[in-house]
Amino acid sequence: QVQLQESGPGLVRPSQTLSLTCTVSDGSVDSSVHYWSWIRQHPDKGLEWIGYVYYIGSTHHNYNPSLRSRVTMSVEASKNQFSLDLSSVTAADTAVYFCARIRQQLTYFDSWGRGTLVTVSS
Amino acid sequence: IQLTQSPSSLSASVGDRVTITCRASRDIGNYLAWYQQEPGKAPKLLIYTASILQSGVPSRFSGSGSGSDFTLTISSLQPEDFATYYCQELNTFPLTFGGGTKVDFK
């Protein structure tokens, strides 16, 4: 049973870059049948897909157009981790951030991390 | 694509049959998944491609529908089922979720 765990700062200053890492256990980030994704949930709101990344020889990604200009995702295969950078954050980026595994082709999220709250505040 | 869930909330009792609807703004075939989110926890996959039960999910959960109208049914509500449920369209980008249906105690 794959497990995912988010890590990173819980507080980020406005205009700075939010950086999170997801560590994958009992699974491999260079899987040929999965993508690795970030989703966020604003307080008491619904779910927003941020994007996904995968590594097959090189890194490939697909970002939500609403966030594309500020998002960078990467994979560190040697550490079995993948990461999210979200630049120029504002209070509107305050949310719980989840990492998750996506089944390729059908794109459902079959495993999730517990989530980490990131607050943007000065 | 927009996914509209109804109702946005409902009150029910243990043992009740509960039905939640997800309507897509266009025909999406059977490309729909359902998730359960308990308070303070991550969502959990229940059903994918409209009707296939994820491994380990109790059989009281079922999904049906195709095209633009989909249903999640809980045949006999259990205490651990009080949660928020989301639908998600599959294989169309950006990936999107419905607004959620909160199931609470009557």
pLDDT tens digits, residue range A19-69?
Answer: 999 999 999 998 889 999 999 999 989 999 999 999 888 899 999 999 999
CA A95 – CA B12 distance, rounded (Å)? 29
What is the identity of the amino acid at B89?
E
B76 and A CB contact within 8 Å: no
Number of H helices, E strands in chain A: 0, 11
CB distance from A105 to chain B under 8 Å? yes
Contact list, B97 vs chain A (CB under 8 Å): 46-49
Torsion angle of the four alpha carbons B44, B45, B50, B52, in this order, in degrees rounded to the nearest 10: -130
User: Which pLDDT score is estimated for A58?
Assistant: 87
Choose the closest CB to B86 out of A46, A106, A112. Answer: A46
Contact criterion met (CB below 8 Å) for B88 and B98: yes
In sequence order, what are the residues at sequence separation of 6 or more whose Cβ sits closer than 8 angstroms to the Cβ of residue A104? A32, A33, A34, A35, A54
| Residues in B touching A100 (Cβ below 8 Å) | 42
| Residue A62 touches partner B, C-beta closer than 8 Å | yes
Structure tokens at A14: 């406005």
Share of chain A above pLDDT 70, in %: 100
Answer left, alpha or beta for residue A65, where phi above 0 means left and psi between -120 and 50 means alpha: alpha
pLDDT band at residue B33, thresholds of 50, 70 and 90?
very high
Q: Chain A residue closest to B88 (CA)?
A: A108
Residues in chain B: 106
pLDDT reported for residue A32: 85
- Give pLDDT tens digits for A55-114: 888 899 999 999 999 999 999 999 999 999 999 999 999 999 999 999 988 899 999 999
Note whether B36 contacts A: Cβ–Cβ < 8 A: no
| pLDDT beyond 80 at B16 | yes
Checking if the pLDDT of B22 tops 80, the result is yes
The predicted model gives B51-80 an average pLDDT of: 97
CA distance B61 to B76: 9
* Residues of chain A found within 8 Å of residue B28, distances taken between Cβ atoms: none
CB contact under 8 A, A110 and B54: yes
Give the distance from residue A88's alpha carbon to the nearest chain B alpha carbon, in angstroms.
21
Q: In sequence order, what are the residues at sequence separation of 6 or more whose Cβ sits closer than 8 angstroms to the Cβ of residue A64? A: A48, A49, A50, A51, A71, B94, B95
Contact A48, A41 (CB under 8 A): yes
Local structure of A93: helix, strand or coil: helix
pLDDT tier for residue B91 given thresholds of 50, 70 and 90 = confident
A11: buried, middle or exposed (CB in 10 Å: 19+, 13-18, 0-12)? exposed
At residue B106, the pLDDT reads: 87
Minimal CA separation from A91 to chain B, in Å:
21
pLDDT at residue B1 greater than cutoff 90: no
| pLDDT range class, residue B31, cuts 50, 70, 90 | very high
A-chain residues near B31 (CB < 8 A): 106
Is B97's Cβ below 8 Å from some Cβ in A? yes
Which residue type sits at A47?
L
Q: Indicate the helix (H) or strand (E) that contains A103.
A: strand A95-103
pLDDT of A120 > 90? The answer is yes
CB contact under 8 A, A114 and B94: no
